[in-house]
Amino acid sequence: MAMIAALSLSACFGSPDVMKRSDTQRPSADTPKRPQMTSAPSFNSPEARQCAVDLKQAGVKFTPLPNQDHGGGCSSIDAVKLLDIGTPTTNLGAMTCPLARNFAAWAQYAVKPAARKYFGQEVVKIETFGTYSCRNIYGGRSGRLSQHAYSNAVDVSGFVLADGRRIMLDGGWTGDKPSQDFLRALHKSACRRFGTVLSPDYNAAHYNHFHMDMSGAGYCR
């Protein structure tokens, strides 16, 4: 009953994935896995139920998702589908509730004010490469599972302004000064909200996006 009550409210910190070691090989992301329902209900812990309450109180519209074991160690536990965070956002799939809560707050209290400050206009869309993906780090055939495999990461690729201009990590990170200042302000803010944040400065694999996840304890590059 506690789970039902909580759900009725709804309408790369530490070393990043790429730096963590594992001796266990994982299946390739090329191998499809059939989702399987777990027997455990979602939002069953006090922490998860509080997260759902926090989203509701923040005015975020979302749908709670059932717990899923996708096979190969990949899962979606206490995850949600964000429906409305105040700014249209592309490609959002399953996200752990803490990731969704922090992402929605980042969009509201970092992205919007930064756009007004550096461009004098609103952000009308946030573009991402997605959230859940059952794969290893870098999409390799072996190695540690990415936080994306746990629905615990989101990759942000760019932003669309009211005048139609697109401020993309690919190009904007080293582009004109307003774009650089805007993106670096968002990176700095993200580092205060997410466990791991990786930017184009981290390595070549991140040249075109911010990777943000809830693992670890403050790794920011």
Per-residue pLDDT 10s for the chain (221 aa) are 344 334 443 333 233 443 333 333 333 434 444 445 444 579 999 999 999 999 999 999 999 999 999 999 999 999 999 999 999 999 999 999 999 999 999 999 999 999 999 999 999 999 999 999 999 987 777 789 999 999 999 999 999 999 999 999 999 999 999 999 999 999 999 999 999 999 999 999 999 999 999 997 789 99
Distances (CA, A) of 50 to 11, 47, 54, 98, 106: 16, 5, 6, 10, 19
Task: Write out pLDDT tens, residues 59-98.
Answer: 999 999 999 999 999 999 999 999 999 999 999 999 999 9
Distances (CA, A) of 1 to 6, 22, 51, 63, 96: 9, 39, 17, 18, 21
Q: Which helix (H) or strand (E) holds 187?
A: helix 177-193
For residue 46, the SS3 value is helix
pTM: 0.82
Strands 68-71 and 61-64: unpaired
Whole-angstrom distance between the N-terminal and C-terminal Cα of the chain?
43
Q: How far apart are CA 196 and CA 40, in angstroms?
A: 28
Strands 196-198 and 219-220: parallel
